[in-house]
Structure 1
Amino acid sequence: MTLNSSTPACFNLEEESISKGKSIVVPKITNENENKTNIFNNIVQPIIAELIGTTFFILIGLFGACNGDNKNSSLTAGFSFGFSLMILIASFGHMSGGHFNPAVTVGVLISGAIDLKKGLLYILMQLIGGSMAAGIFRLLSHTTTYQRCRGGATFLVTIQTPKEMGGIITDRINWWEGVCIELLLTFIFVTVILMVSINHKSKSNIASIYNGIALCVCIFASNKLTGGSLNPARSLGPAIFANVWSHHYIYWIGPLFGASLAGGFYRFIWSINDQNTFDNK
């Protein structure tokens, strides 16, 4: 009787100790795996998506913009960049939001929809992606095509207007005009993105289409004036490989200030009611 009564006691004690051991060890392993998964999902995967997405976005746009004739350059540039943005946001947007543009990331950062650390990583990946796209474009383009479009670089356009009595009037876009054009159009573009991709009331399932169309329209409007950049990463890569730095600062100041204004307007004006509604739910 003693042996029979002690055996279950030993067994229960051993089983209890094993169960206690499991309760200590298993959660540690689970937490470590969860942390690794969270880091991959929240940091690694999004920045890789921004790198690859930006590279393809700018590369497709450069091929399209530089393979059209001068008369239809605005159309080919607008559709190439706009449609490629549309497709790539639909493909990678669920991972990173599909920014592919430092100006967009700045606007989203100021709006409060992304943290500073991730925003800086996004911008770094976008600049690298833009440079990679320009390098691939240089490698695969014919020399005549590449030289004709100056490597897809953006610069202030010289306008030539025929005189009524013959001859041509040559005029160049001033630097301050270029800054204002890039600033205003980037403000419009980033505002559209914030409203259709982030705002809880106006957020759309077809935001990628709206974003692509918005970029098309903005490039149509500005291509014959500034080259229609609205994106420092799009301007930096071609400038490096084509060595075209004329008024390059315009394509940083204009888009970044325009995006900052868009983010500020969204955070403190457009999304006030949206935030109140969301907080009350």
Structure 2
Amino acid sequence: MPFHKSLQMSKDDSGVTNPLTWLVSSNGDLVRSFLAEFIGTAILVIFTCGTCTATSQNPDTLVSTALSFGLTVACLVFTLGHVSGCHINPAVTIGLLVNGQINLIRSIVYMIAQLTGGIAGAGLLHVILKDSKSNLCATALKVDPIQGIIVECLICFLLVLTVCNVCQSNPEIAPIIIALAVTTGHLFAIPLTSSSMNTARSFGPAVIANFWDHHWVYWVGPLLGGALGGFFHRYIFINKSIYDQCETSSKANDETPNVTTSI
């Protein structure tokens, strides 16, 4: 039987509901989104922290690491954006919560998926690099904590403001624009804070490598920046024509207006 035919069946011959059918139905949306956020964040940590570790002795570390983060995010947004929106970052989730694009329950589910995905990704990377003495590219401050918070806040503000605008105004190229925002943030912040830009990306390696120096900075800075990005877009910088179009469409379908739709 073709795969798409089997997905249309609600029950198998024994009368038991097919778990795969349920998962791809509207009832399984939140579980499917959890898996997308979990797997996406794990992949992000494996490839980006892996690149950072592999190039740590080379002079082009800054550029290669920044490109790794940007390109990995682009791949993931193209691949998983239609499932969960591909936040793969608590700062983005907090920003879209403040922006009114997701509800509290979904945001909590997303952040749990992201944090556990970060741990899983760092754990697998540790297995791959078990013979090395690497700290899995755990984020480390090279400035004082207040400066670190400001830097992390700024780069996450840029990221979330970009996400809030580009996903609706230019959805076809949104993954590329978001990737550029990530790359730009890393080029600026790697020499200062190791450029977390993502609490889950810092949390996973910190747990596995047991490296907690100034770790709180990578919660306060990114989450504050994400929240400010969502706030500024919603109340100051929102594209009114896009919102009006979205609101009209949502009223026709009896839904809450959603400007930053999944890609």
With the shorter chain as reference, the TM-score category is: 0.7 to 0.9
Q: How do 1:35-74 residues align onto structure 2 when only pairs under 5 Å count?
A: 37-40=25-28, 42-68=29-55, 69-74=57-62
Aligned partner of 2:199 in structure 1 is 232
Identical positions, percent: 32
Residue 108 of structure 2 corresponds to 120
Cα separation, partners in 2 of 1:142 and 1:75, compared to 1, 3 Å: farther
Partners of 2:215 and 2:129 lie apart in 1 by 23
Within-5 A mapping of 1:94-243: 94-144=82-132, 146-147=133-134, 150-157=135-142, 173-197=143-167, 199=168, 202-243=169-210
The answer to whether the 8 Å contact 1:58/1:81 transfers is no
Task: Report the Cα distance in structure 2 between the residues aligned to 1:106 and 1:234, rounded to whole angstroms.
Answer: 15
TM-score by length of 2: 0.82
Q: Structure 1 residues 83 and 272, CA, compared in 2 at 3 Å: closer, same or farther?
A: closer
1:238 positional shift: 0.7
> Which residue is 2:247 aligned to?
279
Distance of aligned partners of 1:151 and 1:280 in 2 relative to their CA distance in 1, 3 Å threshold: closer
Structure 2 counterparts to residues 238-277 of structure 1, below 5 A: 238-271=205-238, 273=240, 274-277=242-245
SS of corresponding position for 2:141: coil
User: Secondary structure of the equivalent of 1:151?
Assistant: coil
Q: Distance in 1 between matches of 2:172 and 2:229?
A: 22
CA deviation string 1:182-203 (max 9, x = no partner): 0011100111111111x4xx23
**Superposition deviation, residue 244 in structure 1:** 1.1
Uncovered stretches (5+) of structure 2, i.e. residues with no partner: 1-20, 250-263
RMSD: 2.0
Deviates further, 265-274 or 249-258: 265-274
The answer as to whether partners of 2:165 and 2:239 remain within 8 angstroms in 1 is no
2:80 is matched with which residue?
Answer: 92
Q: TM-score by structure 1 length?
A: 0.77
Provide the C-alpha distance between the structure 1 equivalents of 2:239 and 2:162, rounded to a whole number of angstroms. 17
AA at the equivalent of 2:81: G
> CA–CA distance in 1 between the matches of 2:59 and 2:159?
25
- Letter matched to residue 238 of structure 2: S
Q: Distance in 1 between matches of 2:69 and 2:187?
A: 11
Measure, in 2, the Cα distance between the counterparts of 1:75 and 1:51.
Answer: 27
Q: In 2 relative to 1, CA 124–218 (structure 1 residues): closer, same or farther, beyond 3 Å?
A: same
Q: Report runs of 4+ in structure 1 exceeding 2 Å deviation.
A: 33-37, 274-281
2:12 aligns with none
